[in-house]
Amino acid sequence: MHSKHDHSVKMTIKTPAQFLASGFGSGCAPVAPGTFGTLAAVPFWFAMTYLPDLWYAVITAFVFVLGCIVSDQASRELNVHDHGGIVIDEFVGFFITMFLVPVNIYTAILGFVLFRIFDVIKPWPIQWVDQKMKGGIGIMVDDVLAGIMALISIHLILWGYAVLS
């Protein structure tokens, strides 16, 4: 299997697993596929905000499990572990980031930026998990952790803003 983020292998959507793992093709962007994948997650997040919080959490958990399966399958089909074009993990990470966050353009932008920062920089323990865990769960879990860190950050920022207002 090729190393992570092997740029010589193009992301394709030839199979159902690749289509889903690529975030409905958003991961096929020639540059910054993770950013495009996160952007593609925004309308899904917005639609999910109309659901009760429990259903939001259930759908997020379902997409996590689905992501473990399809990202593992897609990475085997492409022969690249955690191909950059696999972005279903960005969907889950963004959904986690935005859990119980007020819905408006400012929080959407703030959540997007915070999640991308944690996903790209990969502070401990994200980087450790990213390096140690393999397969579909390894592809997904580092973005779950980035989402949790961004979730905590956005709630602290919103709490601080409310206290200072």
pLDDT tens-digit series, residues 42-56: 999 999 999 999 999
Which residue, chain included where needed, has tokens 């990213």?
130
Cβ contacts of 155-162, under 8 Å, gap ≥ 24: 155/100, 155/101, 157/110, 158/101, 158/102, 158/107
Ramachandran region, residue 99 (left: φ > 0; alpha: ψ -120 to 50; beta: rest): beta
Backbone φ, ψ for residue 158 (5° rounding): -65, -40
Reported as a pLDDT band with limits 50, 70 and 90, residue 10 is confident
Share of the chain above pLDDT 90, in %: 79
Asked if pLDDT for residue 27 goes beyond 90, the answer is yes
- Encoded tokens for 60: 């997020």
Q: Which tokens in the block code for residue 2? A: 């090729």
- The CA distance from 68 to 146, in Å, is 16
Whole-number pLDDT of residue 1: 46
Which tens digits make up the pLDDT trace of 78-121? Answer: 988 889 999 999 999 999 999 999 999 999 999 999 999 999 99
Whether 110 and 165 have beta carbons less than 8 Å apart is answered as no
